[in-house]
Chain A
Amino acid sequence: MSGAVVGVDIGGTFTDVALLDAEGRLTIGKQATTPEDPRVGVVEALRHVLRDAGIEAGAVTRVVHGTTLATNVVVEHRGGPVALVTTEGFGDLLALGRQARVEDDRYDLRYTPPAPLVAPALTFEVPERVSAHGDVLVPLSDAALGGVVQAVTDARPAGVAVCLLHSYAVPDHERRVAAACRAALPDAFVVASCDVWPELREYERAMTTVVCALVGPIMATYLAGLEEQLAAIGVRCPVEVMESSGGVVSTAAAIRRPVCTVESGGAAGVLAAGTIGARVGAADVISFDMGGTTAKTGIVRHGHPTIAHDFQIAGRGSFGGARPGTGVPVKTPVVDLAEVGAGGGSVAWVDPGGALRVGPRSAGAVPGPACYGRGGADPTVTDANLLLGYLGVRDLAGGVTLDRARAESAVAPIAAALGIEPVDAAEAVHEIANTTMAAAIRMVTVQRGIDPRDFTLVAFGGAGPVHVARLATQFGIRAVLVPWAAGVASAVGLLRSEPTMELVQTVLVDLDDQHADAIEAAFADLEARARRELAGADGPTARVTRSADLRYRGQAHQLTVAIPSGGRGAALTRAFHDTYRHTYGVASDAPVEFVSARVRVTLPRQADEPRRTESAPPTPAVADETRPVRFVGTGELCDTPVFDWVRLTADASVAGPALVTGADTTVVVPPGATARVDDELNLHLSPPRGTGGSVVPASEP
């Protein structure tokens, strides 16, 4: 390969950068996230990394970006205002919604569903109607169009979502409305549902479109500015953005359908864990990514992450997944993961009942944990970890020196409120954070009936390696892997991503010979469009996979079936019967209906793998220093050797109690645990066997 590739992952607290140069050398950097303009942190971190790597800015050939911008905009109710234009008679589409009381909410007599994403005053009806079979029942008159466009214009929205009934089949009216809105509101971000995700079921399609309109203006400004600012420091290569499904697309494509990036950052982490697992021979891994603001978990089985097609932003539900009817549904594909509000920056507080709580509020990047000395006064998990000795004052986190005195003064009030010593309060904070993170691991494993003990736990993110041994012990997990450069593993994972475009089109017809050509035409059209969207995907190297949503005629639900290469007609029917029998244990010979075509086109890349940074002969691990550390349950500070990760060589072994410090994270090796370094400098941790404490405290409040 020629030139250097850069992965950039923006978290709530830190911006991580990984650079892989032409020689296969990996250089990493970490910078405090700059929430008011995240690009400032990106440019700063990239500048440092280029300097550290000794690389000219012009040598960078590709920047791959993972961002949680889209999710944050939705969850924090930022962005907008967005207007929705829909078919006359359905202005209450979002207000009525498909919200369901689920789980415990069903017994909550006080339950109130969340407000719709678009206010009633910004919802507009347009007189028009198309039938399910494509007949125009009410034509869209120019007068009606002019009227609604005027009303939308008067409301001065930043984004406009247009979702008309049956536009997945007949998009003409929707396109006309969108075009007219674009003409009248040149500065607004106007999206038509047929262009975003033309799939049957108006509520989810409308919500997917609204999220686009909400996120689009922010995303467009952000990405355009990023390319400009990178160019200003000499990085003039294309920027790619990771989508929630784990593939990457151009910035132009990301702006066209920003809803596809809702789990961009999370997807990178799960993919990274899967890739690293595969390299050390672990096909089944749990990814555990703990940053400053949240902890995310996901599972990879047989080398593949699960892709969900019915994701709910901020959805609720147990059994390891958000229930339909909760949160903001988006129909675009998403790597399945769970997220909890526990990170290094999570703030500890004492509730009115006198109980110690941690999170979900985070001190974030600004002001950050108290020990960062940036004006933060609230005690955070990072402050607790510093007081417990897990972090040293010189451990650089994005160029910050940690201030122990500030951490102590921050923890003191909660210790006083609880009537205990500060170090005991710190341990309690650390343990409560562990419990919250355990819940995230539980969500993707135990709650799905999956035994976590059969998996390798891959820990990364700045705070993950600090907590992982204790978590593994709680679950009885025996194999823990902390990858080299764990603090920026998601950014490293971005380096390995491949350009991918997935598209859908509903085509509601019987699956029979009569419709075989129409179905084939839909697939061919999707494939052509996907290849167009991906520059360079027009050649034979592109990997094309087709799948179809099929069902027995008249069923309410469909099943996504992978289509064998070249499969059509009878082969499709056979694939459906087989998948159905495999999924549900039964099958019938009833007629089959075709619902939607799905195409995924991937442009394979030669895997750019970092080589070992050095190849020193194995030497016994020698501690660089010792410091007092308090391990959970020991009740005392224990003088603990501290090893410098870069100075550990392949096959070196470290016995707990010990700490292994890297440039971007610290691995806690508790008493009874051992850590071994492999020849790619990853750390394999064997946690002490637990006595089997409960994974999660009793759910009784």
Chain B
Amino acid sequence: MPTDEPTHLDDAITADVIRSGLSVAVEEASIVVVRSAHSTFIQEGADACAALLDARGQLVAQSAATSLMHAASLRCSLPSLLEDVPAASMQPGDVFVLNDPYRGGIHANDLIVFRPILADGRVAFFAGTLVHVADVGGVAAGGLAALATDTFGEGLLLPPVHLARGGEPAADVRRIVARNSRVPDKVLGDVDALVAGVHVIAARVEDLLARHGVDRLEAFVDAWLVETERRMRTQLAALPAGTYHGSFVIDGDGVEPGRTFDVQVAVTCRDGAVDVDFAGTATQARGAINASVSQALSGVVYGIRCFVDPTIPMNEGCWRPITVHLPPGSLVNPTPPAACGGRIVTVAAAVEAILAALAEARPDLDTAASGLIHVFTLSGRRGGTPWLNLFYEFGGVGARVGADGPDATGCFFLGGRSVIPQVEPIEAGNPVVVRATRLRVDSGGPGEWRGGLGVELELELLSDAVATVRGDRMLLPPPGAGGGSPGRAGEFAVKRRDGRVETLAVKQADVPLATGDRLVVRTSGGGGLGVPARRTPDAVLADVVAGRVTTDAAGRDYGVALGPAARAVDVEATEALRRAGPR
């Protein structure tokens, strides 16, 4: 360390080093949490996050390598901790844990850990981490209680409680958590990973405090938040002023037969600020698709950030120009004890609604809807030992103005396929054989710009097991936009060993599977954008050659006829087809 450190705040390099130092602290913590977690299913870009917040609860820095689904998670839950445990009473070495979705949490399996960072005898900052832990009880293993109707069925709920006092682990709380888990060792390993993460942040910030002093560091942080807010407001001011409307319809909650759910939003842009109002959104569901407030807010900030400079840091300054109205008792602000574990369905619907609304302001950024993440668990016992795995597969992404939708990485705010475990490690750890993972031909919604393809996964059981599935956008597949068609609907099915095929519900719990049975997961394709008949015949031909579209579908959906062996477009036949009728 240099000894003749400059001592004024306007040293731009010092500012740069501090800013990066804080960002790196949370980034490193998230890597520690993800890589040291004991959950088998925590991959890169995973269901986790790490953040630094200040004593007032303002978000200072948030990990970028983790899921955007948690943009608001730590920011929303810290106030609950401060409500129950005044900052003035906190001691060095204290660590807290909570997961109550009605206190800023998400669902039972997302444990949130905070550690205060003290300077000059007072709390100056909080380090926070979150990870989807292996299991905390509830009616379904791994936290996928697809048909739970209240939070009590979703697992152990923790108000803000001590996980350590003055550096001494709170053994009683750890015992409670372990006793409520199907895999006590793993969940304690995950808790340790979360604690390791907050220690990493604290160590980094304590270095900066020692070097710069708390007053300077706080002044610097404040200036950074103000600068971020300024950038955010400048960007928002560039959007045409007005109120824009969007909506999205959800398949169902798996509990109330036949009921669909509307998410409605009005987005008002004015004077460098944005107001997001969910008035008109369906009342809360009996099933688990309700989104707690923190989850709804994560969706909101994502949707808006797609329309501003993406390099704006994720901190409190980014949030300040945004106001949000979440009607109490609705899908996006449910009343306890409504179940919240399936909230991704609602959050993703909220994102689609916001994207649709803001596309009115920015037609160049119009998009069709995407297939949702399809989640399923398999669990059982092998030789007396319980096993459990949480799987994901993605639907196709919706088409965009000027571009087809990417395959199998929907929806937009989920980072992509790096979160999906590979076949070899899955098979090494679980009694399953993955027989195939293939793109689904013809699943992309037809349009001038085609929706991305969904996938088909076929998985054979080497041991008796129980499956729980949770999808959406499978009964009402991802709609197209601007004249485009919806993507092809996905489905969950079981191929029994004797050849029988059973189609499962979109959300179904505890499906018994026998050794030799196969679970088939087909994910929905993304919606198309623009009238299919306007897609260039060459683009259709290229899709046929690449195996994305069949020759039949080329004629039926796009009005494109291909010559022998599908080597070229039959121009005359295509013209005739396209004259014959609108597509």
Contact = CB atoms under 8 A, between A and B. Distances in A.
Interface of A: 88-93, 95-113, 120-121, 129, 131-132, 137, 165-166, 168, 200-203, 317-319, 323-325, 446-449, 451, 453-454, 475-476, 478, 508, 552, 554-557, 559, 580, 583-586, 588, 590, 692-696, 699-701
B424 A699 contact: no
A554 B195 contact: no
A203 B39 CA distance: 21
Interface string B415-443: 11111111111011100011111110000
Contacts of A580: 36
30 contacts: A89-B437, A96-B408, A96-B439, A96-B455, A99-B418, A100-B415, A102-B416, A110-B402, A112-B406, A120-B546, A201-B424, A202-B422, A318-B64, A323-B44, A324-B44, A324-B418, A447-B20, A478-B2, A552-B38, A555-B36, A555-B37, A555-B189, A556-B43, A556-B425, A557-B34, A586-B36, A586-B196, A696-B16, A699-B311, A700-B231
B11 interface: yes
Q: For the side of the interface on B, what is the size category? A: 35 or more
A202 B415 CA distance: 20
Nearest to B33: A584
Contact of A325 (B11, B16, B415, B424): B415
B458 interface: yes
Contact of A92 (B16, B231, B365, B437): B437
A694 B409 CA distance: 38
A369 to B, nearest CB: 32
Contact of A201 (B25, B186, B196, B425): B425
Interface in B280-307: 302, 305-306
B417 A97 contact: yes
Interface string B207-242: 000000000000000000000000100000000000
Interface in B8-67: 10-14, 16-17, 20-21, 23-25, 27-28, 32, 34-45, 64-65
A226 to B, nearest CB: 38
B310 interface: yes
A107 B306 contact: yes
A109 B305 CA distance: 11
B412 interface: yes
Given A166-B424, A556-B421, A586-B192, A446 B415 contact: no
B388 to A, nearest CB: 10
* The 6 residue pairs across chains A and B that have the minimum distance between CB atoms: A89-B436, A325-B418, A100-B416, A449-B24, A100-B418, A104-B310
Given A557-B35, A694-B13, 18 more contacts: A89-B437, A96-B407, A98-B420, A100-B416, A102-B65, A109-B355, A129-B433, A137-B433, A200-B424, A200-B425, A324-B418, A446-B17, A449-B20, A559-B35, A584-B196, A692-B14, A695-B12, A701-B311
A584 B425 contact: no
A588 B302 CA distance: 37
A588 B45 contact: no
Given A96-B455, A692-B13, A695-B16, A554 B40 contact: yes
Interface of B: 1-2, 6, 10-14, 16-17, 20-21, 23-25, 27-28, 32, 34-45, 64-65, 68, 185-186, 188-189, 192-193, 195-196, 199-200, 204, 231, 302, 305-306, 309-311, 355, 365, 367, 400, 402-404, 406-409, 412-413, 415-425, 427-429, 433-439, 455, 458, 545-547
A585 B21 CA distance: 19
A451 B1 contact: yes
A552 B41 CA distance: 14
A554 B455 CA distance: 27
A448 B14 CA distance: 14
A98 B422 contact: yes
A112 B199 CA distance: 37
Contacts of A325: 44-45, 415-418
Contacts of B415: 100-102, 106, 325
A699 B193 CA distance: 33
Contacts of B404: 112
Contact of B311 (A104, A131, A585): A104
A120 B25 CA distance: 42
A106 B199 contact: no
Nearest to B203: A585
Contacts of A454: 1-2
A110 B400 CA distance: 6
Nearest to B6: A692
Contacts of A586: 36, 192-193, 195-196
Contacts of A694: 12-13, 16
Contacts of A93: 437
A95 B407 contact: yes
Most A CB atoms within 10 A — which of B200, B415, B434, B547?
B415
A552 B189 CA distance: 9
Nearest to B422: A201
A100 B2 contact: no
A554 B417 contact: no
A93 B417 CA distance: 12
B188 A588 contact: yes
A692 B12 CA distance: 6
B418 A556 contact: no
B436 A90 contact: yes
Most A CB atoms within 10 A — which of B17, B64, B424?
B424
Given A89-B436, A447-B20, A475-B13, A99 B416 contact: yes
Contacts of B11: 692
A160 B258 CA distance: 52
A92 B417 contact: no
B38 to A, nearest CB: 6
A701 B458 CA distance: 45
Given A96-B408, A556-B42, A584 B35 contact: yes
B427 A131 contact: yes
B144 to A, nearest CB: 18
B424 A202 contact: yes
B309 A319 contact: no
A155 B14 CA distance: 58
Contacts of B21: 449
Contact of B423 (A90, A105, A317): A90
B192 to A, nearest CB: 4
Contacts of A554: 38, 40, 186, 429
B417 A99 contact: yes
Nearest to A324: B44
Contacts of A92: 437-439, 455
A45 to B, nearest CB: 40
A694 B14 CA distance: 10
A108 B307 CA distance: 9
Contacts of B416: 99-102, 113, 325
Contacts of B231: 700
Contact of B24 (A90, A101, A319): A319
B414 to A, nearest CB: 9
B65 A323 contact: yes
A121 B433 CA distance: 26
B355 A692 contact: no
B417 A584 contact: no
Contact of A112 (B40, B185, B403): B403
B12 A693 contact: yes
B418 A584 contact: no
A93 B37 CA distance: 27
Nearest to B398: A109
Given A98-B418, A556-B41, A446 B402 contact: no
A96 to B, nearest CB: 6
Given A132-B428, A699-B311, A99 B409 contact: yes
A102 B416 CA distance: 8
Nearest to B25: A449
Given A90-B436, A100-B415, A451-B1, A584 B428 contact: no
Nearest to B419: A100
Contact of B309 (A113, A121, A695, A700): A700
Contacts of A583: 32, 36
